Amino acid sequence: MQFQELNLSKPLLDAVAQLGFTEMTEIQEKTIPLLLEGRDVIGKSNTGTGKTAAFSLPILEQMEPSDCDHVCALILCPTRELAMQACEEIRKFARFKKYIRPAAVYGGASMDRQIHQLKNGANLVVGTPGRVLDHLRRRTLKLDQLKTIVLDEADEMLNMGFREDIETVLEQIPQKRQTVLFSATMPPAILAITKQYQNDPVMIQIKSAHRTVDAIAQYYVSVPMGRKTDALHLLLLAKQPNSAMIFCNTKKMVDELTDALCMRGFPAVGLHGDMKQLQRTQVMNGFKSGKNTILIATDVAARGIDVKGVDAVFNYDLPQDHEYYIHRIGRTGRAGKTGTAYNILSGRKQEIEMREISRYTKAEITEIAVPTSRELRAAAVEREQERLLALSATAVSEEAMMLTNILLENAESAKGILAAMVQQHLTEATKNLPTFDVPKPIRKGRHAGAKTVRVHINAGRRDRMAPNFILGALVEATGMAGNTFGKIDIHDQFTTVEVPETELDFVVDVMQHEKINGKKVVVRRYEEYGGKRDGGRSKGRQQSVQRRSSRHGYNQNARSGSYNRKRQKG
Ligand code: ADP
Ligand code: MG
């Protein structure tokens, strides 16, 4: 349904049209008519679905010039950024209704300016609960003629501990009013509030996040402990997003990661709740204007923030709450654009969480390899070549030309000079590049607890096979983590290795063309005939090697061919 089909007055329809809105979103289509009727509404819909317009258009429609010398509507938002953002959007909708004067009030900013605004005819107030209460106590805000109150992002306000403040506000406003509540999730605490403070509310729930999430390509990389920043660095270089948001779970991590990325030369800024208002505004402005293309934030700081053109979201930490995953990646791919989300995992626990998130969101999250520094160097060389070739068209001064001609007199030295200059540029272009050379794409999951089978390799002690040669070759060829493989039994003429049953065909397949310690080998499924196990037959002569889990150092170790392991004589 189109906005123009709504029973809205011309000034609002014109403003909406000017903003380029034509079709309503689902939540708008379902709630606006009810709100225009004056009903109390509970609206549940994901971030980015246009809830601001849903609750503000009906308010603006109902505001008449005659009753506008007092505050008619109050909108409570969890954070200063959201209050500012909602207020800005409302200003745009009210563009052609000049008597509507929105004001935003939030903590951390000058009280005087807000008091001035409130005194000078503000009739629609958007604010954070604490500051609104502050103004009520000072009597700089009067709500005795309030017609509508909106609790926007109600779940987040409760998460942030605003429950008491909200209730205090609700107690102080006229009983006869419209109470509207919007939220992305519907925990029981919200329902308790609606029960107590709403009058026969209609609940509108827009099903699932799929619309938002589906437009977003989702990937994950799995890296050893302590290598997340390197992985992020390489992903940022390889994907070159125009504008990216990176999520961390703690303020401390936001600070640390911001420092780390800045040190590495990225234009990154951090945003979290401990920052002063001025600082936060500066950060948001820097990010919105494109001066800083990377914003690192906690969930609370970033909740609901609507920045156009974020083309990649990175989860440096996975969110603790699955709904938050949807909110986070919803920062990209907004308003029908496509976006990409990358999750950086370390350790089995996070891989399991990732799988649960994938199941919960019904989204496909594909594993990719961390781009290697080698690939990135190659890309940098290519870019440098293009850049230098493009330079040849640059106009230069006569002096420069003269010097060039002198330098060109000796071809050999001219070549040396050019090489040195190219080297300078390349060094610059590839400086700080972390080394992160995973040999092949990492294959799925670890397989702890999975059913294993054994493969037979036709090389044994007689061929001078040692466990590290065999494991090294398997890891190199399959790209699977070293600890995917189980027990390695080396016999005189052959070796058996435990592999996850699900990976058997793959291992056999890729090993067909491989050499181990210089010897071409045949790898096949090990058949245990007659119920007799090889371990029993060759007891005493075989060398059993049980791998200790050594996820942490595997990549580095794989290079040098040495592995942590515990030897045990069979
Ligand atoms: P929410 O509060 O649900 O997270 P917002 O109200 O912040 O979502 O809206 C997200 C973005 O979508 C904003 O940039 C808004 O201007 C835009 N938007 C809202 N409704 C529409 C619409 N019907 N058509 C196009 N864009 C819209
Ligand atoms: Mg919103």
pLDDT at 511 over 90: no
Residue 529 has pLDDT above 60, yes or no: no
Q: How far apart are the first and last CA of the chain?
A: 74
What's the CA gap between 300 and 160, in Å, rounded?
8
Q: Which bound ligand lies closest to the C-alpha atom of 307?
A: 1
CA distance 284 to 304: 13
* 400 and 255 Cβ atoms separated by less than 8 Å: no
Confidence tier at 490 by pLDDT (50, 70, 90): confident
Measure the CA–CA gap between 370 and 441, rounded to whole angstroms.
8
Task: Determine phi and psi for 267, rounding to 5 degrees.
Answer: -80, 70
pLDDT for 271 equals 92
Dist. CA 203 → ligand 1 center (Å) = 20
Question: Which pLDDT value is given to residue 334?
Answer: 60
Give the Å distance between the CA of 251 and the centre of ligand 1: 28
Nearest ligand, CA 43: 1
Tokens describing residue 290:
């494109």
- Residue 492 pLDDT: 84
Q: Write down the pLDDT at residue 336.
A: 56
The pair of structure tokens assigned to 171 is: 């107690």
Which residue has a Cα nearest atom 5 of ligand 1?
50
**Residue with CA at minimum distance from ligand 1 atom 19:** 50
Nearest CA residue ID for atom 22, ligand 1 = 21
Quote the mean pLDDT of the chain. Answer: 84
Higher pLDDT: 339 or 40? It is 40
User: What pLDDT shows up at residue 472?
Assistant: 84
Distance in Å, CA 46 to ligand 2 centroid: 9
The CA distance from 40 to 55, in Å, is 11
Give residue 86's pLDDT band: very low, low, confident or very high (50, 70, 90): very high
Q: How many angstroms separate the alpha carbon of residue 40 from the centre of ligand 2?
A: 18
Calculate how far, in angstroms, residue 52's C-alpha sits from the geometric centre of ligand 1.
Answer: 7
CB atoms within 10 A of CB 154: 30
Atom of ligand 1 nearest to the CA of 19: 16
Atom 20 of ligand 1, residue of closest alpha carbon? 50
Q: If you search the block for the tokens 């080396």, which residue do you land on?
A: 490
The tokens 């379902």 sit on which residue? 30
Within 6 Å (CB) of ligand 1, which residues are found? 21, 23-25, 28, 47-53, 304, 306, 335
Report d(CA 375, CA 398) in Å as an integer: 40
Where b means 16+ CB within 10 Å and e means fewer, 266-299 reads: bebbbbbeebeeeebbebbeebbeeebbbbbbbb
pLDDT above 90 as % of the chain: 46
Q: Structure tokens of 204? A: 């509108």
Banded model confidence at residue 215, pLDDT cuts 50, 70, 90: confident
Q: Nearest-CA neighbor of 481 among 524, 446, 517?
A: 446
Flag the least confident range among 25-29, 257-261, 504-508, 543-547.
543-547
* Ligand located closest to 326 CA: 1
Residue 409 CA to ligand 1 center (angstroms) comes to: 65
Closest-CA residue, ligand 1 atom 26, reads 21
- Taking the centre of ligand 2 as the mean of its atom positions, its distance from the CA of residue 328, in whole angstroms, is 13
Written as six digits, the tokens of 147 are: 């017609």
| CA separation for the pair 483, 550 (Å, rounded) | 7
What ligand 1 atom has the least distance to the C-alpha of 89?
16
CB 181 within 8 A of CB 196: no
Quick one: which atom of ligand 1 is closest to the CA of 85? 7
Q: Which residues pair with 566 in a beta bridge?
A: 546
Closest residue (by CA) to atom 16 of ligand 1?
A: 50
Could you say which ligand is closest to the alpha carbon of residue 88? Answer: 1
- Residue indicated by tokens 């246009």: 50
Q: Is pLDDT at 402 greater than 60 in this prediction? A: yes
Q: Out of 18, 22, 25, 153, give the residue to mutate to test ligand 1, the one with the largest number of ligand atoms within 8 Å of its CB.
A: 25
Q: Averaged over 29-44, what is the pLDDT?
A: 96
How many angstroms separate the alpha carbon of residue 334 from the centre of ligand 2? 13
Helix (H, G, I), strand (E, B) or coil at 440: coil
Mutate to test the pocket of ligand 1, among 1, 18, 21 (most ligand atoms within 8 A of CB): 21
455 forms beta bridges with 497, 525
Ranges 249-253, 286-290, 530-534: which has the least confidence: 530-534
Q: pLDDT, tens digit, for every residue of 143-194?
A: 999 999 999 999 889 888 899 999 999 999 999 999 999 988 888 888 899 9
Residues 6+ apart with CB under 8 A from 395: none
Q: Position of tokens 């390899």?
A: 369
Q: Which atom of ligand 1 is nearest to the CA of 27?
A: 3
- Gap between the Cα atoms of 224 and 231, Å rounded: 10
Query: Is 0.75 topped by the overall pTM?
Result: no
What band does 47 get if pLDDT is binned at 50, 70 and 90? confident
- Spell out which residues have Cβ within 5 A of ligand 2, the ion: 51, 304
The H-assigned helical ranges of 335-408 are: 348-361, 373-391, 398-408
The pLDDT value recorded for residue 273 is: 80
Say what the pLDDT of residue 208 is.
58
Rounded distance from Cα 372 to ligand 2 centre (Å): 39
